[in-house]
Amino acid sequence: MISKRIHHAERKKAKNHLVFKSLKGDYYTIGWKKQTLTSMLLVGKGREILKEAITEELSKGSVLVNKNLPAEVLPDDKVVNNRRITRKRAK
């Protein structure tokens, strides 16, 4: 029951922050002062910053919890939410 509550709380944080689950099973968030994910997605530089942050954390072995992100900010061929994501490149 406690695990479900923690998981639900982290999902709520995912609306405004990047939420990751570490190799130890702990959850942690990454956010930017006065910025939400939505506001960062509206700006090209914001999308780049999000992609860099996600790539760095996934390379440490963490799992991205957010499901509210467009494919363009996800790294090419990474594991997100315990499933492999392979982005199709535009031709």
58: its two tokens: 């996934």
Q: What is the pLDDT of residue 63?
A: 87
Q: Where are the beta strands (DSSP E) in the chain?
A: 18-21, 27-30, 63-64, 78-80, 83-85
**pTM of this prediction exceeds 0.85:** no
Q: What is the mean pLDDT of residues 34-62?
A: 90
Residue 74's pLDDT band, with cuts at 50, 70 and 90, is confident
